[in-house]
Each structure stands twice: as C-alpha cells, then as structure tokens.
Amino acid sequence: MTIFHSINTSTSALTAQRLRMDVVSANMANAETTRANLVDGEWQPYRRKMVVMQENGKQSFASYLSKASMNPNIGAGVKVKQIADDQTPFMLVYNPEHPDANEQGYVQMPNVDPLKEMVDLMSATRSYEANVTTLNASKNMLLKALEIGR
C-alpha cells in the first residue's frame, strides 16, 4: 500500500459518481423524448441509462489472499464497467393528437421515472460528498505526518 492509496481510492469514486450524476441529468433531460433512436424505420423513445460500477482490481478472494503483499493496488477504488440501458417497457400514454401516436391513439413514452432519477441523483450526490470528506481527511493526515519531522 502506498501513501496515496486512500487518495487514489477516493478520486476513483469521485470520477464514477460524477459520471453517474451526468447520466441522471441526461435521463431527466430526455424524460419526454419520443424520438431518440431510429430502429427498423420507426422511431423509438429514449431508453433510460444506468451506470454499472465494479471494484477496481481482482474479483476473487483467493487472488486477494495470495497477492495481498505483492500488489499494492488491490481494492483501489471503483471503476465504471458500463452504461447500460434500462430494459423496462416504455409507458403508453393516450394522446391521439400526438404525431407519434399509434392507430389506437397511444404514444410510447420513455421509461424514465423522475422520482427514481431524483433518488439516484441524491444518492450519487451524497456519495460524492462523502468521498470529498474522505479525500480531505486523507490530505490532512498526510499534512500532519509531514509536520512530525519539524
């Protein structure tokens, strides 16, 4: 483990949570977009995006146990694995005057739930704030360690 291990871990989490907030913002901005993708000649509504994160490092306990003393970067934060599409079905809204309405008068609306997005945004914001606090605590500990030699 290096002296900057905790700082590196916090910065990886800050980067991941910032991306998560950006994806939530994109979801909210497209909550009413009925023409996002052209599939087989037909417009599809915007599909909600989700950030999938994973641990930055090895995945098995055996690899942790066998390489703990040799690899200082094991468990060094998180990374974004992918930005996945939410596969929940689109909402149908009755609006026969809408240009994208089908023969029955229903319009497919995006599967974005503003309440769910706000909860996700609050969670990402709190996690970001917690990692900033951790980063500041690590920085202060390193500064105090440098003062010992005076």
Tell me the average pLDDT across 50-59: 81
Q: Tell me which residue of 133, 119, 129, 139 sits closest to 3, measured CA to CA.
A: 139
Q: What percent of the chain has pLDDT over 90?
A: 64
Q: Is the pLDDT confidence value at 59 over 70?
A: no
pLDDT of residue 8: 87
Contact 57, 45 (CB under 8 A): no
Helix ranges (DSSP H) in 87-113: none
Burial of 55 (0-12, 13-18, 19+ CB in 10 A): middle
Burial of 150 (0-12, 13-18, 19+ CB in 10 A): exposed
- The structure's pTM equals 0.81
- Of the pLDDT bands very low, low, confident and very high (cuts 50, 70, 90), residue 98 is very high
pLDDT of residue 3: 77
List pLDDT tens digits, range 101-125: 999 999 999 999 999 999 999 999 9
pLDDT of residue 38: 85
Instruction: Give CA–CA dist 103/118, Å, rounded.
Output: 34
pLDDT of residue 40: 87
Instruction: Give CA–CA dist 91/111, Å, rounded.
Output: 6
Which phi and psi (to 5°) does residue 109 adopt? -105, 155
| Mean pLDDT computed over every residue of the chain | 87
Count of CB atoms situated within 10 Å of the CB of 14: 17
pLDDT of residue 140: 93
Tell me the average pLDDT across 46-59: 85
Segment holding 71, helix H or strand E: none
pLDDT of residue 67: 62
pLDDT of residue 77: 83
